[in-house]
């Protein structure tokens, strides 16, 4: 599905635009093309991520589930390029 639809037109939930808007307000300077694990897993990062995720409790089913992320979006999923977030 993800590879057959232009991502500009792909919505996984009814609140995707809200989630992205809140994400960009909270994490204005976060680079998303190449992720720094410290910006996801350090204690200061967790202090920002927890409240962000909790905003969607009751709005998004499984709002607090983790997912596999590629650290560098230009590379494939490999042990070295994958983090659980």
- Over range 63-81, report the average pLDDT: 93
Return the pLDDT at 2: 62
pTM over 0.75: yes
- d(CA 81, CA 50) in angstroms, rounded, equals 24
Do residues 15 and 60 touch, judged by C-beta distance below 8 A?
Answer: yes
Instruction: Quote the mean pLDDT of the chain.
Output: 91
Give the per-residue pLDDT at 82.
95
**Structure confidence by residue, pLDDT tens digits, 9-50:** 888 888 999 999 999 999 999 999 999 999 999 999 999 999
Structural domains of the chain, ranges and CATH numbers in brackets: 7-84 (1.10.3560.10)
């Amino acid at each position: 599905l993800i590879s057959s639809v232009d991502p500009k037109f792909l919505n996984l939930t009814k609140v995707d635009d809200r989630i992205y808007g809140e994400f960009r307000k909270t994490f204005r300077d976060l680079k998303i093309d190449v992720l720094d694990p410290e910006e996801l897993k350090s204690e200061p990062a967790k202090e920002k991520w927890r409240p962000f995720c909790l905003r969607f409790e009751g709005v998004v089913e499984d709002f607090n589930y983790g997912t596999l992320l590629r650290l560098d979006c230009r590379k494939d999923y490999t042990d070295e390029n994958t983090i659980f977030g």
